[in-house]
Amino acid sequence: MRNRPSTLRSVVTLLAVATICICVGLALRKTLLARSPSPRIEYTLLDGTHTSSDHWRGKVVLVNFWSTDCQSCVHEMTQLIATDREFVSRGFETLAVSMSYDPPSYVTRFATSRQLPFGVTIDRDGVIAKRFGDVEFTPVSFLIDRHGDIFKRFVGELDREELQKSVDKLLSES
């Protein structure tokens, strides 16, 4: 009989701990699945146009951090061009952000020779990279939904099929 109250107490304690774990798990899941707001940035495109992320509202945007000396970055530009051309008429925009260590003349030459159909900016002081979570290596891309929230972060060279499915999904959302 003496074991019965301690057994009951153990069961109640175990149930309380399990309930707390479930509640914490659900809260964490909701937090991890929630989209985080993209940072507000100002930038100047290679053509001299000064703009900000404010004009992205209502659009799906891919922000791609790259550099001219990164083979993966150079290789994925073909995918970025194709994706931009496929979805631009539906409200998709691409911004290629060249890293602060990339020589501006190389960036301009690359963008001109490849006839990049999207905006290109040089992150001269590294502020854009810092605002996106201290991006240091390339390629890294952020897919932003119509509400200005980061939907997905891609590290490394983009998978074209995965990118296009994600863009299509976001463009189909209202």
Domain extent at residue 28: 1-34
Alpha-carbon dihedral angle through residues 102, 105, 110, 112, given to the nearest 10 degrees = 140
- pLDDT score, position 11: 54
Residue type, 166: S
- pLDDT score, position 13: 55
* Residue 71 shares a structural domain with residue 142: yes
- pLDDT score, position 173: 86
d(CA 167, CA 83): 9
* Residue 30 shares a structural domain with residue 44: no
d(CA 147, CA 145): 5
Q: How many domains does the chain have?
A: 2
Structure tokens at 114: 């490849």
At 122, is the secondary structure helix, strand, or coil? strand
* Residue 137 shares a structural domain with residue 110: yes
- pLDDT score, position 54: 95
DSSP string, 156-173: SS--HHHHHHHHHHHHH-
d(CA 13, CA 28): 22
* Residue 73 shares a structural domain with residue 143: yes
* Residue 28 shares a structural domain with residue 93: no
* Residue 42 shares a structural domain with residue 115: yes
Q: What is the DSSP letter of 45?
A: B
CATH number for the domain harbouring residue 126: 3.40.30.10
Average pLDDT across each block of 10 residues of the chain; the chain has 174 residues. List them in order.
Answer: 60 52 43 70 96 95 97 95 96 97 96 96 96 94 96 93 95 84
